[in-house]
């Protein structure tokens, strides 16, 4: 796993902070094979990155999280698990997609349980806006997939409509709820909390057309 060369505390792993050290995609990807790359926007505490990296060692996962506290916790979780095929970044995901990630590089882009930011004055904080959705389409390889999960039905319907209006991605494709086999067998901590409280989770997959 690629991490910051300067730990936050002695013997403590931290995420690569793109605010402190802006890096190009070439610099970020220079330490891992780029044959199959998946990107997660808003990685939180890193449950998805860690479990997915361990389950699919042939894929390299790149996660980005705005909150330094969560980004560093995710980096520590990944390191503790020995998931060498995951890279954790701290930064602005919208800027990262628009300015750093090249076109046709990601086999999948994952966005799980983003904050809806319903108030008009807060909508500019949404990670999924028209530009970001267009960038997701751009960075996907032909046949690549955009995975979107939320526990807010109104927001699910809003984003699905926005994807259909702003991109040429095919979908949404329904995703059945997987059976959890142990207490942490969930995509993210948000999914775990929702399902343990018997709350519905809304899932969709969109796919980029093959040229």
**C-alpha to C-alpha distance for 146 and 161, rounded to whole angstroms:** 14
Active-site residue, 115 included: yes
User: pLDDT digit string (tens) for 8-35?
Assistant: 444 579 999 999 999 999 999 987 877 8
Bridge partners of residue 65, in order along the sequence: 90
Q: What is the pTM assigned to this prediction?
A: 0.86
Q: What average pLDDT does range 33-40 have in this prediction?
A: 89
Q: So what's the pLDDT on residue 180? A: 67
**C-alpha to C-alpha distance for 127 and 169, rounded to whole angstroms:** 18
Would you say 206 and 145 are in contact if contact means Cβ atoms under 8 Å apart? Answer: yes
Would you tell me the crossing angle of helices 68-81 and 47-55 to the nearest 10 degrees? 30
**C-alpha to C-alpha distance for 208 and 23, rounded to whole angstroms:** 27
Would you say 111 and 148 are in contact if contact means Cβ atoms under 8 Å apart? Answer: yes
Bridge partners of residue 111, in order along the sequence: 41, 148
Is beta strand 60-65 parallel, antiparallel or unpaired with respect to 140-150?
A: unpaired
Catalytic residue among 4, 17, 35, 115: 115
User: Other C-beta atoms within 10 Å of 119: how many?
Assistant: 8
Checking if the pLDDT of 5 tops 80, the result is no
Q: Which domains can be identified in the chain, with CATH numbers? A: 16-207 (3.40.50.150)
Question: For all residues of the chain together, what is the average pLDDT?
Answer: 86
**C-alpha to C-alpha distance for 48 and 188, rounded to whole angstroms:** 6
User: pLDDT digit string (tens) for 150-190?
Assistant: 988 999 999 999 999 999 999 999 887 777 666 555 565 65
Checking if the pLDDT of 6 tops 50, the result is no
Q: What average pLDDT does range 184-210 have in this prediction?
A: 73
**C-alpha to C-alpha distance for 80 and 122, rounded to whole angstroms:** 36
Radius of gyration for the chain, computed over Cα atoms and rounded to the nearest angstrom: 16
User: Other C-beta atoms within 10 Å of 179: how many?
Assistant: 6
Q: So what's the pLDDT on residue 7? A: 47
Would you say 36 and 65 are in contact if contact means Cβ atoms under 8 Å apart? Answer: no
């Amino acid at each position: 796993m690629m991490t910051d060369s300067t730990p936050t505390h002695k013997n403590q792993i931290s995420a690569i902070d793109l605010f402190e050290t802006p890096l190009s995609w070439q610099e970020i990807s220079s330490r891992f094979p780029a044959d199959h790359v998946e990107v997660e926007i808003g990685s939180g505490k890193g449950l998805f990155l860690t479990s997915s990296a361990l389950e699919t060692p042939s894929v390299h996962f790149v996660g980005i999280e705005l909150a330094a506290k969560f980004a560093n916790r995710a980096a520590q979780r990944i390191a503790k698990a020995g998931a060498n095929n995951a890279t954790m970044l701290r930064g602005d995901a919208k800027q990262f997609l628009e300015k750093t990630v090249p076109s046709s590089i990601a086999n999948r882009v994952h966005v799980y349980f983003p904050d809806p930011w319903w108030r008009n004055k807060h909508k500019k904080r949404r990670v999924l806006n028209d530009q970001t959705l267009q960038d997701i389409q751009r960075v996907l390889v032909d046949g690549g997939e955009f995975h979107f999960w939320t526990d807010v039905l109104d927001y699910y319907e809003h984003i699905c409509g926005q994807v259909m209006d702003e991109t040429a991605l095919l979908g949404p494709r329904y995703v059945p709820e997987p059976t959890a086999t142990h207490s942490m067998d969930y995509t993210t901590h948000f999914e775990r909390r929702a399902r343990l409280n018997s709350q519905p989770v809304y899932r969709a997959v969109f796919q980029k057309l093959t040229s």
